[in-house]
Amino acid sequence: MASTDLKDRLVILGSKGGPAIRPGGPSPTSSLIEIGGRRCVVDCGLGVTRGLVEAGVQLKDLDLVFITHMHSDHVLELGPLLHTAWTTGLARTVRVYGPADLMEYWDGFLNSMRYDIDLRIDDEGRPDLRDLVEIHLIREGDLSLEDEKLSVRALKVDHPPVADCFALRFETADWSVVFSADTTYFPPLAKFAQGCAVLVHEAMLERGVDTIVQITGNGARLREHLLASHTTAPDVAKIAEAAKAGTLVLNHLIPADLPGFETEEWLDATKAFSGKTIVGHDGLTITRS
């Protein structure tokens, strides 16, 4: 349901790549985009619920949620977000868009919380949460929002071994924001993002991969995954430049919370992009100018 009170803005709620959290560090991936009077949550990594509240969102006013793929750092807190919104007064339908396995996740979450949901319906007179959430599967192309002002399009990107991972483009007559989702260097994304006002793209510093592997473990297997499935910062700059994006926001940072990796290094690594580059951080807010 569109609201004329919402001002167009993007808020990075969680800027970290990967599911681990560390003392004082950023949260895994989630974002808020308010555009064309719609409130859209993109990905639901750990911390999304608190991040939305701190961004001034009343959870009972949730509208649209998009899950780009089923890695835990993008979907782990979807169920808890919707349940918490319900306990704070959600009484209208929320549409959730995501890949094919999303329905299995949601059914599993509802089953795990069946006792609590049934109890609160009987004891507190709440509407049934199961009737308030609609799951819609994402396919490439336009997503059907039944909204004359806002269009959302999806592009399947390359994030092995995940089969279904989707970049998303949110667009009105006044503003356009593209989320790369998790992806290796994927040139077709530049065409998908062509002319966008803001490109939010995952980014990795190759120098940090060995440090992450040393801290996390799993050795060669983890290193192989990171290099095969994510985009180095210089390649992100190539995509942004080819897309002629207005502003590039580096997000899903790898590494995001390790000492010795400062803003200047990220900016230097993306200097091939001639537009404005912002290194993402939790709470970063960009408003439509």
- Could you give the residue numbers annotated as active site? 73
CA R_g for the chain? 19
- Residue 81's nearest CA partner among 25, 21, 129, 115 is 129
Residue 56: count of CB within 10 angstroms of its CB: 9
- Two tokens at 10? 């993007």
Q: Is the dihedral of CA 153, 230, 265, 32 positive or negative?
A: positive
**CA–CA separation, 257 and 261 (whole Å):** 8
**In this structure, how many other beta carbons lie within 10 angstroms of the beta carbon of residue 80?**
15
Whether the CB-CB separation of 99 and 69 falls below 8 Å is answered with yes
Q: Can you tell me the distance from the alpha carbon of 89 to that of 137, in angstroms, rounded to the nearest whole number?
A: 26
Say which residues have a Cβ less than 8 Å from residue 153's Cβ, sequence separation at least 6: 141, 142, 143, 168, 169, 171, 192
- Classify burial at 141, counting beta carbons within 10 Å of its beta carbon; exposed 0-12, middle 13-18, buried 19 or more: exposed
Question: E strand or H helix at 163, and its extent?
Answer: none
